[in-house]
Amino acid sequence: MTRAMIVEPDRRQRIARVTPLASVLARLDALVKPVMPRAADLAAALGRTLAEDVVIHAPIPATARALRDGWAVSSDLTTDAGAYAPAPLPSAAWVDVGEALPGDADAVAPLDAVAIRDGAAQALAPVGPGEGALPTGADVAPGTTLLPAGRRLGGIEIALLAAAGVAEVRVRAPRLRLVRAAPRSDALIDAALGSIADAVGSQGGVAAIAAQHSLTDALADTSVDAVVAIGGTGTGRNDTTVRTLASMGELIVHGIALLPGETTAFGTVGARPVLALPGRLDAALAAWHVLGRVMLARFAGSREPPLIRTAKLTHKVSSPVGLSELVPVWCEGLSATPIASGYVSLAALAHANGWILIQPDSEGYPAQSEVVIRPWP
């Protein structure tokens, strides 16, 4: 049996300096740029982020259309119509909802507002101009930006594009390579990989999990926009992720003033950013929420505001000064209950449905403080 090589304590990778979270975010923001856009049909565009404004150049609808089933009429001919004094209509065509109005018709009368007697149409009640009808350009006027660049395309956005006759758009779909630092399987790291892969997909990216590839192979992969490595960022006997990153590219940060997630590292290999997350599940997820989501949004060119809400804490939460701290919470109505601080257990993670970020100059928040809640996971 091959014996694992033990690295002497004085030769293990170390954190030389802990960098404030704000400084790391500033470096990340300056380094990461939106990926190149590509054309996609609507099916392929679902979940992606628009790279360009979708501008509608022709009016929608192109001609007036019926908003209800009924008789297409000229409203001015029905002004004095009544049950005892029907107004003759030279023409009255039946239209179903959505059909174009014929000729000079500018309104759609209900079924019982027009009678056909001896082959001639008569209005039995007045109909106002535009009543029951959708005018030309009422849905979208020419030159309107239907959807702006930076908008993620969900189901409703795809439906709107299809209804407007748009068959193809230009989108950004960042491709991230996810890899475990150690070749052997680890339940916690595999769980983090799966959770982050799901988060990448939900934010408009493409997650490629390098199940059978080494960390070196993943860092050398030029087909992706960034690499996210999980594990091997500490000072353990077999932790070599940070040294491997430094040997193949540039190590920008190792050690972030973030709790949990202090051993997170960030660097580049060529033009590709590399985010190295701790192997502990709570730390990996915390660092992904605070850093990874920002990186992915920058790649996608997203301009959507973060999904946040406010709530009042049911209990006091304390935090060490000098560290940014992610604290999972359970939100119910207008209240948020802090679940854990420091190490976040699996049971606590299972109970969380939101999180708060405590700034490094704060010792925490007293009960009944109003805080900003971000969604978990």
**pTM score, two decimals?**
0.86
**293 in Cβ contact with 199 (< 8 Å):** yes
The CATH homologous superfamily for domain 65-134 is Molybdopterin biosynthesis moea protein, domain 3. (2.170.190.11)
The two tokens of residue 318 are 């304390």
Q: Are 276 and 250 in contact (CB under 8 A)?
A: no
Q: Which residues are CB-contacts of 235 (< 8 A; sequence separation ≥ 6)?
A: 12, 13, 14, 15
The token pair at 77 is 């001919």
Dihedral sign from CA coordinates of 22, 234, 194, 219: positive
Alpha helix positions (H), the chain: 21-31, 42-45, 155-163, 187-202, 215-219, 241-248, 281-287, 293-300, 346-351
Q: Class assignment of domain 309-375?
A: mainly beta
Q: Which fold has domain 40-60+146-171?
A: Molybdopterin biosynthesis moea protein, domain 2 (3.90.105)
Beta bridge pairs of residue 335: 312, 332
Class of domain 9-35+174-300: alpha beta
Query: Structural domain boundaries of the chain?
Result: 9-35+174-300, 40-60+146-171, 65-134, 309-375
The single residue listed with the structure tokens 């109005």 is 101
Say which residues have a Cβ less than 8 Å from residue 20's Cβ, sequence separation at least 6: 256, 257, 324, 360
- Please give the torsion angle defined by the CA atoms of residues 93, 97, 98 and 102, in that order, rounded to the nearest 10 degrees: 10
DSSP state of 9: G
Q: What is the chain's pLDDT, residue by residue, as a tens digit (377 residues)? A: 444 445 555 577 888 889 999 999 999 999 999 999 999 999 999 999 999 999 999 999 999 999 999 999 999 999 999 989 999 999 889 999 999 999 899 999 999 999 999 889 999 999 999 999 999 999 999 999 999 999 999 999 999 999 999 999 999 999 999 999 887 778 999 999 999 999 999 999 999 987 666 899 999 999 999 999 999 998 888 889 999 999 999 999 999 999 999 999 999 999 999 999 999 999 999 999 999 999 999 999 999 888 899 999 999 999 999 999 999 999 999 999 999 888 899 999 999 999 999 999 999 999 999 999 999 87
